[in-house]
Amino acid sequence: MATLLRGINVDHVAELVWLLAESQGRPDIRARSLQAVAALLEAEHVASFVWDQHEHRSTQPVAFNIDGHHLQAYEQHFHRVDVVTPVMRKVRQAARVDCHVPRDTLVASEFYNDFLRPADMEHGLNVFFFDGNQDVGDLRIWRGRGRVPFSEREEQLLLTLEPYFLNAFRTVPKQRQALSLREAEVVRLVAGGASDKEVARALGIGFTTVRTHLKNAMAKLNCRNRTQLARCV
C-alpha cells in the first residue's frame, strides 16, 4: 500500500475513506463522494449510475463537473448507443476503458463523437460495484483531451479502495420514522447549536428527558451523532 501511495496525495485518500465511512447508508453517498474521487485521481469528470436489472440500463445518475442536460441526454438516448458500459460492467472491477474497448471502435462510435467528445471525456477509468449479483452503483471517471491517460497504478489504487466504496454503496439506510412533536423541537434546537441544558431550559423539561428525546430521534433518523442529526433537518 505504501508503494502504491507514493506520489499520491495521502490527504485525498484519507478524506475519501473518511467520507465513505461517515456517509455509510446515506442515500446521497454516491453524489457526496464524486468530487473527492476526482481530486484523488486528478480527473475532470466523474459520473455514477445504478444499473436497473428490469430496464437493463443505467439509472439514478449523479455527476461531478458534467452538465445536467448531458446526463439527461444519456438517459433519453445515449444509453442505447453506449459502447463502453456493456463491456466495462463485465469486468466487475476497476479497469481502464482503453484496455477493454478498442480505440478504433470507440472513436468510430456515435457514443464517442456525440456524447463523450463534446463533454471532453477522453480517457476513462470505470468500476462497477456488485454485492453478489446486485449492482449497487458505479464510478465512471474521465480525463479530457491533452491529459495523460490513466495508468495501471491508478487502476490499482481504485481497486484497493473498492471495498470501502462497496460497503458504503450497498448499505441500505433504515427507514426513517416520524418524530414526535417534542422530539422534533429538541432536534431543531440541537441542530441550532444548543446544549442539552439549554434545550431543557428552553422547553421547560428535565435534562434527562432531553437526552431521552435526543436518543429516540437519533434512532428514528438513523444518526450516530449530533453532527449527523444536524444534517437531517
pLDDT tens readout for residues 200-213:
999 999 989 999 99
147/219 same-domain check: no
* Structural domain includes residue 44: yes
Choose one of 122, 143, 170: the last residue of a domain: 170
d(CA 128, CA 140): 9
185/160 same-domain check: no
86/29 same-domain check: yes
137/100 same-domain check: yes
Average pLDDT of the residues of the chain: 89
Residue range(s) defining the domain that contains residue 192: 181-231
pLDDT tens readout for residues 170-184:
865 444 567 888 888
201/128 same-domain check: no
* Structural domain includes residue 90: yes
33/11 same-domain check: yes
Count of residues making up the chain:
233
130/164 same-domain check: yes
128/198 same-domain check: no
d(CA 184, CA 213): 9
Q: Which residues contact 222 (CB under 8 A, 6 or more apart)?
A: 25, 173, 174, 176
- Which domain CATH number covers 133? 3.30.450.40
Overall number of domains in the chain: 2
* Structural domain includes residue 176: no
Choose one of 125, 151, 170: the last residue of a domain: 170
* Structural domain includes residue 158: yes
d(CA 84, CA 97): 7
Choose one of 170, 189, 223: the last residue of a domain: 170
Say what the pLDDT of residue 4 is: 65
pLDDT tens readout for residues 146-171:
999 999 999 999 999 999 999 999 86
d(CA 219, CA 28): 19
Residue 113: pLDDT band with limits 50, 70, 90: very high
69/156 same-domain check: yes
pLDDT tens readout for residues 1-57:
555 666 677 888 999 999 998 887 778 899 999 999 999 999 999 999 999 888 889
Residue 139: pLDDT band with limits 50, 70, 90: very high
d(CA 24, CA 170): 9
* Structural domain includes residue 175: no
- Which domain CATH number covers 210? 1.10.10.10
